[in-house]
Structure 1
Amino acid sequence: MVKTLIVLNPHAGNGRAERVLQQIEARLQNVLGDFTLAVTTHPDDVMQHLADARANGATQVISIGGDGTNHVLINALATINEQATDAAPMIYGNLPFGTGRDWARASGIPLKIEAAVEWLAHAQARPVDVGQVMIDDRREFFLNIASAGISGYVAEAANNVKHRYPWAFLQAVVSGIIHQQRKHLYIRLDDAAWYDGRAYAVVVANGTTFGRGMKIAPEAQIDDGLFDVIVVKDTAKRTVLAALWRVYNGSHLSHPAVAYRKARIVDIRSPEGILGMEADGEVKHGHALNFEIRPGLLKMLLP
């Protein structure tokens, strides 16, 4: 029987995660057998939980939480798997329970946690790509999507809503378009100049969806060894707002205000100084952003 560590973020789902775990615990036991539970409220604790679980023979870890929980686990797992070259990498799975759940949308995992538990019984482990970004001299990993420009403001505004209602992300996007200044971005793809000018945002996507269902990168694949890179160019605010609905059905890539390419390496800088960005919805800031796709770095439970 596979030994499993379950990592629970008690703050996920506006603080309802622990109560939901009680409702699904018996079914989890049937699906997984005995498991170890780690309830963590601080990202720094996750690395120790994973190291202890590996030392005790655990071969897979499953999180209960949303995109932020994914981000923390991915960073810890990628680091541990890189260091443990003499052992098989730990397999990762996610039972989505959060506000955005965009990774679940992108990868076909059921959004209802009860259905996700049933799915877990038949899930298969397969390699997926992971995004790596150097933010100045700090390294981060991300699973789904990272972006810079007004999206740093959008993520921060949405994260600061105490009880995030379904349209909080859309409201933050509209506010960002109206109120935030477009940054001058200089973007290189695979060491060749690609974009030089003002823009609302640049998106570096491994998955397809962010912002609670916005299909920003509809052609992205999580195992093709490439990022999908999208720029929303400097154009009239009313034009961007009028076309915003197209992001929800993925038809925006043909819009004249959008530039789109695939690449393995993405370098983003701004002559205006520090850039606000987000990775899996977690807000970061830096002068220089250098992205590299890490093909098959992680094994994940997927449909």
Structure 2
Amino acid sequence: MPGEIAVLVNPAARGGRSRGLLAPVLDRLRRTGAEVSVILGDSAEDALERACTAVAEGPDALVAFGGDGLVHLAVQAVAGTEVPLGVIPAGTGNDIATALGLPAKDALAAADTVLGGRVRTVDAVRIGEDHWFAGVLCCGFDSRVNERANRLTWPPGMAKYLVALVEELRDFTPIPFRIELDGEVVEVEAMLVAVGNTRSYGAGMKVCPGALPDDGLLDVTILGAVPKSRFLRAFPSVYRGTHVDHPAVTIRRARRVALEAPGVVAYADGERIGPVPLVCEAVPGALRVLVP
């Protein structure tokens, strides 16, 4: 794809370990004669503003060099536009890239996909009026673990999420949710609710294993109230997607999902969205993505 490519960069991806991959990736993109510009904001807000400005100028692609969080930011800029999204997976989880069939462990192969791949049209999910996500939105136990982890200054890296998980499990009680699925209301006490456009989050947890990014629907996984001991025993099965066989798990599909629950904050694509209530709606074909 010789042309104009804007590369949105997160230099902190993988704790900064991805920086050494950036120069070879840029070199690979430029080797074909593409005009490559790099977007690096002073903050997430600044990076988004710069990305939106770049997209408004009509490049041949906006490429996210980072993990799911940076893809989430890039989606805010390209959703609903004709500019395709490229992804160079350089984060810890890369769940969205994996769901789209992109090379999740080979940055140069991902760069080759940007240059020679095809455009696949997939869904994105609109939250409220103007926010989007591409992967999974979660609220309940998992989002409370995220909230705790984000308040911790030690230990570093993924270890703080393990600490937060243990601390949250000690205090956690099931949450009364009100869930509206295309107009049908479900009221349930649950450990967590996940709304998936794709199947996994958190570096491979297949919380919505049947979710497809191009079917115009959202998969909603509801884990009902269970004793903590049973929750701990069942938790590892989410990495295989076999948790769906647990009697406390319900899977529903809908195009529009409204969530209400007291004291709950939602995260989408690993990024903090804010307190519920909120409404998620699948928008078919809202994203154009470069894939192999």
Q: Same fold (TM over 0.5)?
A: yes
Which ranges in structure 2 are unaligned for 5 or more consecutive residues?
Answer: none
CA offset at residue 56 of structure 1?
4.5
1:3-152 paired onto structure 2 within 5 Å = 3-31=4-32, 33-54=34-55, 56-78=57-79, 81=81, 89-112=82-105, 113-134=107-128, 139-152=130-143
Residue of structure 1 equivalent to 2:231? 240
CA distance in 2: counterparts of 1:174 and 1:256, whole angstroms: 24
The partner residue of 1:291 within 265, 280, 284 is 280
CA distance in 2: counterparts of 1:32 and 1:147, whole angstroms: 42
Could you tell me the TM-score, scaled by structure 2's length? 0.90
Which ranges in structure 1 are unaligned for 5 or more consecutive residues?
Answer: 82-88
Q: Deviations over 1:118-171 (max 9, x none)?
A: 34343211111001122xxx6421010001112222223445567424x66566
CA distance in 2: counterparts of 1:52 and 1:198, whole angstroms: 44
CA offset at residue 191 of structure 1?
0.3
Could you tell me the TM-score, scaled by structure 1's length? 0.87
Q: Deviations over 1:76-107 (max 9, x none)?
A: 2227x3xxxxxxx1111111111221112222
**Deviating more after overlay: 202-211 vs 177-186:** 177-186
CA offset at residue 16 of structure 1?
3.1
CA offset at residue 31 of structure 1?
4.9
1:174–1:35: structure 2 CA closer, same or farther, 3 Å change rule? same
CA distance in 2: counterparts of 1:51 and 1:239, whole angstroms: 46
Secondary structure of 1:6's counterpart equals strand
Identity of aligned residues (%): 31
Residues 8, 51 of structure 2: 8 Å contact kept = no
CA offset at residue 286 of structure 1?
2.2
1:245-284 paired onto structure 2 within 5 Å = 245-270=236-261, 273-284=262-273
CA distance in 1: counterparts of 2:240 and 2:161, whole angstroms: 16
Amino acid at match of 2:184: A
CA distance in 2: counterparts of 1:219 and 1:265, whole angstroms: 17
1:163–1:111: structure 2 CA closer, same or farther, 3 Å change rule? farther
CA distance in 1: counterparts of 2:223 and 2:33, whole angstroms: 44
1:162–1:52: structure 2 CA closer, same or farther, 3 Å change rule? farther
Secondary structure of 1:235's counterpart equals coil
Secondary structure of 1:244's counterpart equals helix
CA distance in 1: counterparts of 2:110 and 2:253, whole angstroms: 31
CA distance in 1: counterparts of 2:86 and 2:76, whole angstroms: 14
1:287–1:108: structure 2 CA closer, same or farther, 3 Å change rule? closer
CA distance in 2: counterparts of 1:32 and 1:258, whole angstroms: 51
Residues 7, 64 of structure 1: 8 Å contact kept = yes
Residues 144, 264 of structure 2: 8 Å contact kept = no
Residue of structure 1 equivalent to 2:184? 192
**Deviating more after overlay: 118-127 vs 48-57:** 48-57
CA distance in 2: counterparts of 1:288 and 1:4, whole angstroms: 38
Runs ≥4 residues deviating over 6 A: none
